[in-house]
Amino acid sequence: MLHGPPIVIVTFPGVELLDVTGPSAVFARARELCPDAPEVILASPRGGTVAAEGGIALADTVALADLTGPFDLILIAGGSEAGLTALRQTELYDWLTVAAPKARRVGSVCGGAFVLARAGLLAGRRATTHWRATARLQAACPDTRVVPDAIYTLDGPICTSAGVTAGIDLALALVEADHGAGIAGQIARDLVVFLRRPGGQSQFSEALRAQNLGSSAVAPALHEIQAHPSHDLRVVRLASLCAMSPRNFTRRFAQEIGTPPATFVASARLDHARRLLATTGLSIAEVAFASGYGSPEAMAHVFRARLGITPGDYRSRNRPSQHPG
């Protein structure tokens, strides 16, 4: 018997299993620790058994037509592109039109963001999805502020997360908002996952991408950017390190790394500042100057614009847990 509005996780043929089971595990443990926490319902457009990616089936899903609300949360899982596209021929979008206004929150995991976008629920909101698809989501939704390097976003009643396991981070954030950090922390330790992997934490670092893509021709510049973010990293100097003209260097760098040098430098400096905030006791000002920002105010501006939080907030959220694992 349900007590209060439930959490509905929407599945479909081709759904990514971890998009469903990760958040489900978090919410189920919240229910065990807090009797007033919502129960979880696995639903699908037509109900019954749903074949997930990888050949595993989800049995006894509830048909959307049988769910009339109200809802605590409607969470759209991601999955294969074919599966997401096929949803257009199902009852899902008509159901969402009626159900979303009856939900306290509506969210997505990974490619589920494209469902929210198509339903008009991301207009004027911050959102994210798997890093491989953020550019496509932004192109499809010019009135949405897509945050490409966020683990999850919370914008009013709309919440979105990046790929697969990021759904666990989103679920923990929602549990913390509703039931407190202590409950969220206990669940994280039970599941042996990060206690606090904040929404502003990057899905992947510029350093890793550079190691995968960069050639020896631009290697001196990449090393300088990553090893010395506080140095002069203007194109003229970086080009000289690679024995190239600024024009040739800019063209070669963009071809190999996939982004202009100045954009890469900005991301690398942000990565460096995040690491220092999370792992050292340096002051905010010391982190700013060590990361190549001219002032703490300049760094704070970048953090707010790129991550939606201040450097101080990032540090407090990203401190390692002091509890035993």
Tell me which residues are annotated as active site. Answer: 110
Largest CA distance in the chain: 71
CA atoms within 13 A on the CB side of 128: 26
Alpha helices (H) in 228-310, listed in sequence order? 235-241, 246-257, 261-279, 284-290, 296-307
For helices 17-33 and 181-191, angle between their N-to-C axes, nearest 10 degrees: 130
CB count within 10 Å of CB 248 equals: 13
Q: How far is residue 191 from each of residues 23, 165, 172, 250, measured CA to CA in Å?
A: 11, 12, 11, 45
254 vs 69: CA distance, rounded Å = 50
**Tokens matching residue 19:** 């998009």
| Eight-state DSSP code of residue 79 | B
171 vs 263: CA distance, rounded Å = 32
- Provide the terminal-to-terminal Cα distance of the chain, rounded to the nearest Å: 34
Amino acid in the structure at residue 7: I
